[in-house]
Amino acid sequence: MDWDNARIFLAIYRVGTLRGAAEQLKIDQATVGRRLAAMEQSLGARLFLRTSSGYVATPAGALAVNAIERMEQGAEQLLRQTQGIDERLSGVVRMAATDTTARYFLIDAIQKLHAEHPAIRVVLTTSTEVSNLTRREADLAVRTVRPTSPDLISRHLKRMESALYASKNYLKQHGLPQPGNALDGHDVVIYQRSILASHSTALGGESCANARVVMEVSSGLMLMEGVRAGLGLGELPTYVGDAQPQLQRVWPERAEPYDMWLVLHSDLNRTARVRAVADAVIAAFEQS
């Protein structure tokens, strides 16, 4: 089976449209359509049904997914293993983190890395979503959750804390919240419902069941901006909140601890450029 056709099949299966697959693979839509037709002809089976909601795998397509994903895993493993013996301090390293982590730690790390190893280019993706390192969505990541996969190596970076903050103007208008009433009478800024699974529904150790949600955001920096603008109370990392002169910490005696981890695939641990980026990140956290 042609791997180029197979990876196009997977992209269509995962995103559900020819256009989406083309954008993901950075090729034109007509090529995606031709490759899919060629694959269906070579297998003698129709792999997708075109519906109003997108391309849906037929029984034959669903059967093909497992076999093609095994091909993908083998190709990715080969790539990681060959890169794992690469001793060049040059090339691309893909790194994933939240935007607050990038703003307060990683930019400094990349600046110092560039001064020492200018031939290394960092591709930085900021998101609250956890990147899949096995599928090479990133070479290394900074996370708040320690991975359980045996294929991943993790290094503890630092114990951090988060706390409840509000702008000083907000507190002048609304006063301090009273513990025990689930933030009744107060406005809050929180993460979007779609990503709340990775964040507590409590703020500062207090339920926010009685609060009015003014804004839901998808990034830490936007959460900070919403709180700083006086839209409501919000839970921020203390390294973010304490750095903002417009903000005041609510209930200073309360803090929620969490850990930061550097994660990379074991196959890339000996790649010189990946190791150099990892060392720069570790140094940035140690010096903070």
How much is the pLDDT for 269? 79
What residues contact 90, with CB distance under 8 A and at least 6 apart? 117, 119, 120, 273
- Please, which pLDDT band fits residue 61 given cuts at 50, 70 and 90? confident
As a whole number, the mean pLDDT across the chain is 88
Spatial separation of the C-alpha atoms in residues 25 and 5, rounded to whole Å: 12
Q: What is the pTM of this model?
A: 0.69
CA torsion through residues 100, 103, 109, 114, sign: positive
Judged by DSSP in three states, 97 sits in strand
Residue type, 279: D
Catalogue all structural domains in the chain, each as residue range(s) with its CATH number.
3-83 (1.10.10.10), 91-158+259-286 (3.40.190.10), 160-256 (3.40.190.10)
Reported as a pLDDT band with limits 50, 70 and 90, residue 86 is low
The neighbouring-strand residues paired with 248 are 166
Q: Is 149 helix (H, G, I), strand (E, B) or coil?
A: coil
Pairing of strands 212-217, 256-265: unpaired
Span of 15-19, 96-100, 115-119 with lowest mean pLDDT: 15-19
**Burial grade of 211 (CB within 10 A; 0-12, 13-18, 19 or more):** buried
Taking only the tens place, the pLDDT of each residue in 143-188 is 998 988 888 899 999 999 999 999 999 999 999 999 999 999 999 9
Q: What mean pLDDT comes out for the span 254-281? A: 91
